[in-house]
Each structure stands twice: as structure tokens, then as C-alpha cells.
Structure 1
Amino acid sequence: MRGGIMFKQSTQRKPSLQRRNLAMATWEGIPSVIFQTLLGGQFLTGFLLYLGATSGELGFVLAITTFVNIGQLLVAYLIQKIRSRKWAFVIFGTVQRVLWGATGLAPFLFPQQYWVAAYIGFYVSAFLLNTFVGMLWNSLISDIVPARVRGRYFGIRNTILNGLGTLFMFIGGMLLDRFPGGQGFLYLYIVAWICITANIATFFFYPDLPFERSRETGFLPMLKRPLKDRSFIKATGFIAGFLFLQNLVVPMYSYVMLELLEINYKTISLLNVTQTVFMMGSFYVWGNLNARYSNRRLLLWTMPLIALAVLTWGLISVFPALPVLFLAHILFGIGVGGFNQLAFNFMIGDTPKAERPMYMAMYSAITGVASFFGPLIGGQMYEWIEHWPKWTQVFGLQLVVGILMIVLAMTFGRRILRDT
């Protein structure tokens, strides 16, 4: 008691440093997901077509983002030499964001005949730098998020960010409908640049945590560490094989719906939004399950769901196409939501901490190559069967691939992804 007034001790406690770091990582993701939504997906395709890109140029841009993951093997070695992960992340992240945003400057800086080449130059440069940014972020976030809450935290974070991504996908589409052509894309890039600026500002709030470095000092010895880990390599190789099969047909869904089933863009957008909504809902469920079961076991559980989503296309032979497509997209959203989340947790949680950068790089390189060649071969397969009966293109190829995915998951998957 002082001066007749009793000062009560506040019952409210300041959030711990760990909680503040977790909240910061979520806030950083908000402007990031908004600008990536507005500069990727259907908007990337539309902008490239506006610039005059051919289908071959478009295919190259869509595929390059996974192929450059091979570069992470070198990055994993180089980041062992830096003093501060945070400031390296700030520098590389800033330049990468600026280069990605600079794709929108192509019509202002170059003559029309060079628009596509300028876009590709900025875009490829941005994603080459993204090999550094992604590796640094994965390394930082694996230390920021405690293992005991990793499943729930990423479940909640992914739900929030995917919800925002879906909202801005709608907003961006409405903006382009209202202002078609260059004016609409100008508005998209203005919003994207605001978010890029905000995203760069949030980088400075990341903690500069101590870095447990590899015990190896040379590149080749460091590279051999994950290669000698039989359990890790077998799991990564199996996941890459599953992704290869998945990418033979899934990237071609839009082609099948537009060209063969003659479904309009509005309906396809509704199907994609439905898939995203169910994927968002699944994040929290998979996150809670991850608190009880291992990453490997849950990864295996997601695979039959994804395969079933592919097999569901066969129901078009006996039921109307639209209800079947909604069911296929719902199952795929639930399955791939869990797969992506659990694969990330496997990459940062089931690997030795000191060697984690090279482990993550090896995983990204192997699965990146599979994800690169899957769509290329899948597109070629559709050309091979172009003159076959229509049903073989609409759902026949999906049935074959779906059966192979089920067989792969139930044979090799049960042995390789068992708890260790």
C-alpha cells in the first residue's frame, strides 16, 4: 500500500518469446501468401498469355519452380558458411521478392517483342534465389517451432493462410473481370507490391537463433550424410515415385475439363475453391492427428485418399460428370492437404538437426525432379492417346495411374513408411 492506494499486481502475463516468434511467423505468412496468390496460378497464366507467351513458354515457367530445387544441394553446403541465418534470409528474401515483383515491370521497361523474355528472366532469377530463401526459412522455422506443437501449429497456420489465399483468388478474379487486360493486371501488381513491401518488413522480426552446424566441413562428405541414411533415402525415393505418378494426371485436370468435358471456367474455379476449402479444413485435423501419430504413418494414410481421388474419375462412366468431379476434388483436397503438411513435418522433424539443411535439400532435389518430369511425361501421354476412344482420355488414364498409386502405397509404402 502506498499513498492510501493499493497497487494490484497484474494477472496478465506477457506472452513468452517462443509464442511471439510463432505469432510472428504466422503474420509474416499473410502478406506472403497474398502476393504469391496474385502473381501465381491462374493469374500467372493469364498474365503470360497477355504478354504473348506460347504454350511451350508457359510450360517452361510452370515447371522451372520445381526443377531449380536441385540447386538446394549446393545451398545446403553454403549456408554452413554464413554467420547469421536471419540476415542472410533478410538479404536474399528481399532481392527474391523484388525480382518476382519486377515481372510486372516487363511491359514498362522493354519493347513488346521482349516482354515474355523479360518476364522469364526476372522469374527464373527469382526462383533461383528462392533456393536460398526456402532453405534458410525451413532451417529457421524448424528451430522456431518446437517439435511438440509442430503438427498443430502448422495446421492452424496453413488454415489461416490458405483461407486468405482463397479470398484473394476471388478478389483477383473479380478485379480482372471488371478491368480486363493490362489495366486489371496493373491493379493486381499494385496490390502485390504493397504486400511484397510488407512481407520484406516482417523479415526483420525473425529471431537470429543459434545455428547447429554440420560436423562435416566438405561438400561431398556433407552430401553423403543423407545418402547413407537408408531410412531417409528410401522414404524420400518412395514419396518421389508417388509424386511422379500423381503428376502424370493431376496437372492435366484442367485440360480434360476444358477440352474434353467442355466445362466452363466459372465451374472449374468453383471446383478449385471447393478443393481448397476442404484442404484448409483438413489442416487442423491432420495437425491434431500428428500430435498422436508419427509423420511417416500419417503420410501413408494420405496416399490412399489421393489415389482414391484419382480413381473417382472412373465414376464418370456411370454418373453425371459434375458431381463426380466435386467428389474427386474434395477427396484430393483432404488428401493433398495432409500430404503437403506431413511431408514438410517429415523433412524438418524426422532428420538430424545438425545435418537438416542437407537433408532438406536432398528431399527437395529428389522430389523436385519427380514433380518436374511427371507433368511433362503426362502431357506427352495424352498426345499418344489422342486418337483413342474419348473415355481413355477422360478417365481411362486416371484409372490406370490411380491403381498404380494404390498398389505402390499398399506394398512399398507400408514397408518404407512404417514407424522406426
Structure 2
Amino acid sequence: MMDFIHLKQHKRRNPSLQRRNLRIATYEGIPAVIFQTLLGGQFLTGYLLYLGATSELIGFVLAITTFVNITQIAVAFLIQRLKSRKWPLVFFVGMHRLLWGVTGLVPFLFSQENWVQAFIFFYITAFLFGTVGSVLWNSVISDIVHPKVRGRYFGIRNTLLNALGTLVLFLGGMILDHYPGSQGFLYLYIIIWICLTANVVIFFFYPDIPFERSTETKFLPMFKKPLHDAPFIKATVFLASFLFLQNLVVPLYSYVMLELLHINYQTISLINVTQTVAMMASFYVWGNLNARYSNRRLLFWTLPLIAASILLWGTLSIFPMLPVLFIAQTIFGMGVGGFNQLAFNFMIGDTPKPERPMYTAMYSAITGVASFFGPLIGGNVYKWIDHMPSWIQMYGMQLVVGFIMVLLVFILGRRILRDDYERIPLR
């Protein structure tokens, strides 16, 4: 009798397979958010400036990670031949992490005049592996997380991980302020290498879920399916246009603050922490709203927030600098947090399951190309306006871009992102 009671208690304590998989996906995100925070944003810009990069090269590096997304279209077709998604996922994620981590060894492996070129080589190669891993991960995670809990789960997951990201942002900024130059970046990369290793190890525990393949076996018919889905492709092209405008200015915020406004790393970290806290709070709010309203409707309402945050940079001409930047980045965090979460749910939720890898790849490719040209052109624009009055460099470009974004949202966005639609093929 006691054995029976003990067995029942043991069964109650054992989480279901679904909960176990969700827990693994959450644990995997912990080291991922640490190294991604320390390898991106102000830290990436600062590291590139330390290596000797110019504004246009910084724009190129910030853009290239999105351009390689175009290769996802070929990957989406090729993964249909896989018997298992788990071990290819582990391999490509592992190679992405390894090559990304090697960027920290560039000053030790190459002469100074080759630092930037070597960084770009490892960075691009890493993200070529990463784009394959991304297709596989999107496919796996869409099967792990049940559609009924998708909005709430990602809301809670993103909230927890961004709380950690907020702390990492602040501590990383403190490290670079206390140990400027090579010593500070060495300390950051030690933390990064530890987290990269932990992240890959956790991927070994991901489930090997059966794969529901496309009904098409040839590339061209599979490729055409998302292109012939009118509501999907119109929404994707519209969002890509918005992202192009956004990425003309947003990826170069750190450059403007470091080089033009002469703000130190710790203050920039506090500004970015404020943005991340706003994102963190918004994830939970958008997640709960997503349980009641469609991805498309909520996606639309994130866009005016993002545009307003960019327009707010124009008030630097009237109000003190730091309050303006804190408020602008808070509103941006609320908008972009919702956008990222809802765009991901749009990719994996508003698409037919057997064709999901190709739909996801098509979305990533189109938005990736737009996001690539944004920072690339933005970086060159800052070079062209270098001789112009300082206000044009500091906030003039943001004013122009923000105004165009507002027009785009309210002229086209409301019609394209409506949720009362049927899947009508394009003719």
C-alpha cells in the first residue's frame, strides 16, 4: 500500500513531457540571452570601434546578419529530407556559437590592420551556420509549444529572459567603463565563451519530435506556396518595408550616442536597460492580449509606438538629452518587444504547419533583405552628412524616417494587417 502511495506521489511530481520540453526551451534561453546581449548592441558597436571600424563598416556588420536570412529558403527545402531535426540543429547551432565566439580572439590571432576584416569573416560565417540553425529551431519550437499556450508561454519566457538581459546590459557596461579597451572586452568574452558552451550543451536535451513534412517534394512548387498566399505575402512585404525604415536609424543608435553625443558606456547601458525593462513588461502584456486578439491586429498597434519613439529623437532640440533618450527608448522597447513576439507568432501560428519552414524562410528572407539595406544605407548616410550641421547627424535623420514610418502605418498598415481575411491565392 505504501509503495502504491509513493508511486502516485512520484507520478504527480514528474512533469509531463510537454512541460519538460517547455522547461528545456526556457533553460536554453538563459545562456543564450547572456551571450547575445554581450555580443550585440552597444557592445558590438564598441568592439568594432576598438577594432578600428568606420560608421559604414559598422552599418554593414549590423546589417549582414539579416541578409544571410535569404539562404533560409534553400534550407527550408533541404530540411524536408531530414529524418531527424535534433542532431542537425545541435551541429549548426554549435558551429554558429563557436565561430561567433572566435571573434573575441581576433586581436590575438591577426595583425591590427586585419582586425576588422577578420572579424567580418568569422561573423558572416557564424551567421551562415546560424541561419540554418534558425530554420530548424523555429520548426522544432513551433511543435514544442502548443498553439493554445503559445502567446502566454513566449510572453512569460521573454519576460524572464529579458529581465536577465537587463542585468547583463548594466553589468557589461560597468565592466567596459571600469576596464576600457582590450581588458574590458577580454572579460566580456570570457563570460561569452562560458555561456556559448552552456547553451550548446542544453541543446543536447532538446526532444527529437517527429517532423510533419511538406506535401510538395520539388523546390519550385514548395517555393511558390507562400508567394501565392496573398494575405501572408502582402503582410510580409509591408512589414519588410517598415523594418527597412526602422533599420536606417535604430541599429546606429549606439554609434550616435558613443561618437556624436559622447555618452559613456554605463549611461548607454542604463538607457538600454530602460528599453529592455519596457520590453520585458510589454512581453507579458502583449502575450495576454494575444490570447484574445489576432497576431495581425496586435502587430499593427506595435508600429505606431516604434515610429513615435524614433520621432521623439527630434525633441533633443528642445529638451535635455538624457530624459529624451530614456523616454524614447522606453517607448521603443514597448513597441519592438510586441513586434518581435507577435511577428514570431505570425510566422509559426498564421501559416500552414506542413509548409511552415518555407513560410518562415520566406518571411525571414524578405524582411532580412530589407533589414540588411537599412543599416547599410544608414551607415553610409552618416558618412555623407558628416560635414553638415551637428543636429542633422544627431536627430535630423530620425525625424525624417519617423515621419515616413507614420505615413506608411496609417496609409497601408490598417488595410494590410486587418484580421478579417481569407487565404485567397494571388492570381
Q: Distance between the aligned counterparts of 1:321 and 1:68, measured in 2?
A: 36
- Counterpart mapping for 1:360-375 below 5 A: 360-375=360-375
Query: Residues 36 and 174 from structure 1, CA distance in 2 versus in 1: closer, same or farther, beyond 3 angstroms?
Result: same
Query: Residues 142 and 275 from structure 1, CA distance in 2 versus in 1: closer, same or farther, beyond 3 angstroms?
Result: same
- Cα distance per residue 1:220-255 (max 9 Å; x no partner): 111111111111000000001111122223234344
* 8 Å Cα contact 2:313-2:325 kept in structure 1: yes
Correspondence for 1:377: 377
Deviation at 1:146, TM superposition (A): 0.6
Return 98-107 or 200-209, whichever deviates more.
98-107
* 2:312 maps to 1:315: no
Correspondence for 2:253: 253
Task: Name the count of aligned residue pairs.
Answer: 419
Q: Distance between the aligned counterparts of 1:105 and 1:7, measured in 2?
A: 54
Q: Distance between the aligned counterparts of 2:171 and 2:349, measured in 1?
A: 36
* 2:63 maps to 1:58: no
Deviation at 1:111, TM superposition (A): 4.1
Correspondence for 1:17: 17
- Counterpart mapping for 1:238-387 below 5 A: 238-258=238-258, 261-383=261-383
Deviation at 1:122, TM superposition (A): 1.8
Q: Distance between the aligned counterparts of 2:227 and 2:378, measured in 1?
A: 29
Query: Residues 387 and 250 from structure 1, CA distance in 2 versus in 1: closer, same or farther, beyond 3 angstroms?
Result: same
Query: Residues 315 and 121 from structure 1, CA distance in 2 versus in 1: closer, same or farther, beyond 3 angstroms?
Result: closer
Deviation at 1:82, TM superposition (A): 1.2
Query: Residues 2 and 234 from structure 1, CA distance in 2 versus in 1: closer, same or farther, beyond 3 angstroms?
Result: closer
The TM-score normalised by the length of structure 2 is 0.91
* 2:217 maps to 1:190: no
Correspondence for 1:126: 126
Query: Residues 6 and 162 from structure 1, CA distance in 2 versus in 1: closer, same or farther, beyond 3 angstroms?
Result: closer
Return 15-24 or 28-37, whichever deviates more.
28-37
Q: Distance between the aligned counterparts of 1:338 and 1:46, measured in 2?
A: 27
* 8 Å Cα contact 2:249-2:398 kept in structure 1: yes
Correspondence for 1:225: 225
Q: Distance between the aligned counterparts of 1:45 and 1:360, measured in 2?
A: 29
Correspondence for 1:33: 33
* 2:157 maps to 1:157: yes
Deviation at 1:349, TM superposition (A): 0.6
* 2:243 maps to 1:235: no
Q: Distance between the aligned counterparts of 1:40 and 1:7, measured in 2?
A: 49
Return 229-238 or 46-55, whichever deviates more.
46-55
- Cα distance per residue 1:147-167 (max 9 Å; x no partner): 111111111111111121221
SS at match of 2:353: coil
- Cα distance per residue 1:321-368 (max 9 Å; x no partner): 332222211111101110111001101110011111111111011111
* 8 Å Cα contact 2:170-2:273 kept in structure 1: no
What root-mean-square deviation, in Å, do the aligned CA atoms of Structure 1 and Structure 2 show?
A: 2.4
SS at match of 1:354: helix
SS at match of 2:9: coil
Q: Distance between the aligned counterparts of 1:399 and 1:118, measured in 2?
A: 35
- Cα distance per residue 1:170-202 (max 9 Å; x no partner): 222333333333333333222222212211111
Query: Residues 251 and 194 from structure 1, CA distance in 2 versus in 1: closer, same or farther, beyond 3 angstroms?
Result: closer
Deviation at 1:383, TM superposition (A): 4.9
Correspondence for 1:104: 104
SS at match of 2:336: helix
Q: Distance between the aligned counterparts of 1:7 and 1:169, measured in 2?
A: 46
Query: Residues 146 and 27 from structure 1, CA distance in 2 versus in 1: closer, same or farther, beyond 3 angstroms?
Result: same
Deviation at 1:26, TM superposition (A): 0.3
* 8 Å Cα contact 2:159-2:283 kept in structure 1: yes
Correspondence for 2:425: none
Query: Residues 102 and 313 from structure 1, CA distance in 2 versus in 1: closer, same or farther, beyond 3 angstroms?
Result: closer
Q: Distance between the aligned counterparts of 1:175 and 1:265, measured in 2?
A: 9
* Structure 1 letter corresponding to 2:67: F
Return 222-231 or 191-200, whichever deviates more.
191-200
Query: Residues 83 and 202 from structure 1, CA distance in 2 versus in 1: closer, same or farther, beyond 3 angstroms?
Result: same
Q: Distance between the aligned counterparts of 1:30 and 1:244, measured in 2?
A: 30
Q: Distance between the aligned counterparts of 2:264 and 2:47, measured in 1?
A: 20
* Structure 2 letter corresponding to 1:315: T
Q: Distance between the aligned counterparts of 1:64 and 1:279, measured in 2?
A: 24
Query: Residues 260 and 49 from structure 1, CA distance in 2 versus in 1: closer, same or farther, beyond 3 angstroms?
Result: closer
Identity %: 71
- Cα distance per residue 1:4-52 (max 9 Å; x no partner): x987953844211101100110001111111222223333333333344
Q: Distance between the aligned counterparts of 1:364 and 1:395, measured in 2?
A: 30
- Cα distance per residue 1:269-315 (max 9 Å; x no partner): 32221111111111000000000000000000111111111222333
Query: Residues 212 and 273 from structure 1, CA distance in 2 versus in 1: closer, same or farther, beyond 3 angstroms?
Result: same
